[in-house]
Amino acid sequence: MKPLSKLFLLICCSVPLYSYGQNTDKDQQTVINTGNKTCGSGCCCGMETQTPSGIMTDHIHNKGEWMATCTYMDTRMKGNHIGATPANDNMVYRENYMMAPETMNMQMHMAMLMYGLTNKLTLMGMAGFTSDNMMMNMATNMPGMNMTPGNTTMQSLSSGFTDTKIYGLYNLSGKESQRIIASMGASIPTGTFKATGVTMLGENQRLPYDMQPGTGSFSIIPGITYVHQYNRYSLGVDAGADIKLSGNTLGYKQGNVYQASAWASRRLLPFVSGSIRAEEIVSDKITGSDPAIAIPVYETNDPTANTANYGGKMVNIYAGPNFHFDQPVLKNFQLHCEYGVPVYQNLNGTQMSEHSNLVAGLMYKF
């Protein structure tokens, strides 16, 4: 069993025991008045969630309540992996490629809107805009490239709207301090998957798969999230998948993605809490190919153009704060952020290595 799978199973088993122990502690059953109802000190109503920034399906809203969130995501990649082994440029060239990715920066701005359809069911939608910047090194000057002597670096840029996602979230728990949120989402292919730019073939060429803002495929996104929040502590687990239903019009399908997270958080000050989270992601390979990318000279010399070099397993560790204020002007706002680094990567074929992830968001309830 993988290390994170063991951690996930351990927390799944320990959270109910922890909850039972906390609920039987009568000294902690302080009663507070929220203005609309009276509940225990473990109440999860309102904005005061301690869930990490990277978990977005951890709560629902009361009937008629809205919440808007603006989220910024920054993923940085550096160097390469061949399977589970870090690889320098020369190791990539020895795999018979003439191109070796050096760095990649993926930045996304995402807008999310939630609405409480009932006290149990919340609707959620999200859309984003992404900008990608990839630098690649070349073993030799490539035919058709307009380069100055000694220049062995190529830059590729892409940007555009991502696919749009809509969800339904339903709370299966009737307890104030515990939430079991079952979610079902759908991804609508609104993002372009035909972006062009600079490649080894020249300018205005089809960019590789990892530089495309969209997938071109419909998918379903099932998930389940458990959160226990009591006084200054919070524990949670989350699991979900992004399952592609069909290929796109270019003849390929991005791989399915499966993820699981486990986290713990603690209130540090009246207005701030801190969290730590472990995440495992498993991605399938791309099936099929884009005819504009699957050109022999392109596919055999640039690892990002080869569909065999997509998918794999990764484990990340995150930490970050959540800020929530009681002042009248700020009480409906919450600021949260999370920074993560990989601790394990086992990637299919030859791929860029993930270096870091930053997630930051501002929530407003109305």
**Of 340, 352, 284, nearest in space to 313 by CA:** 284
pLDDT of residue 14: 39
pLDDT of residue 221: 98
The β-bridge partners of 115 are 66, 123
CA 58, 311, 138 angle in degrees (round to 5)?
125
**Of 220, 217, 266, nearest in space to 241 by CA:** 220
Asked whether 108 and 128 are in contact (CB, 8 A), the reply is yes
229 dihedral zone (left: phi>0; alpha: psi -120 to 50; beta)? beta
- Give the number of other Cβ atoms within 10 Å of residue 223's Cβ: 20
pLDDT of residue 48: 56
What tokens appear for 275 in the block? 């969290």
**Of 191, 131, 176, 180, nearest in space to 157 by CA:** 131
330 dihedral zone (left: phi>0; alpha: psi -120 to 50; beta)? alpha
Q: Kindly report the length of the chain.
A: 366
Could you give all domains of the chain from N- to C-terminal order, each with its CATH number?
Answer: 3-22+47-141+154-365 (2.40.160.40)
What tokens appear for 163 in the block? 């696919």
pLDDT digits (tens), the chain, 366 positions:
444 444 444 334 333 333 333 443 333 333 333 333 333 333 444 345 688 999 999 999 999 999 999 999 999 999 999 999 999 999 999 999 999 999 999 999 999 999 999 999 999 999 999 999 999 999 864 555 544 444 478 999 999 999 999 999 999 987 878 899 999 999 999 999 999 999 999 999 999 999 999 999 999 999 999 999 878 889 999 999 999 999 999 999 999 999 999 999 999 998 999 999 999 999 999 999 999 999 999 999 999 999 999 999 999 999 999 998 777 778 889 999 999 999 999 999 999 999 999 999 999 998
What tokens appear for 192 in the block? 């372009």
pTM of the model: 0.83
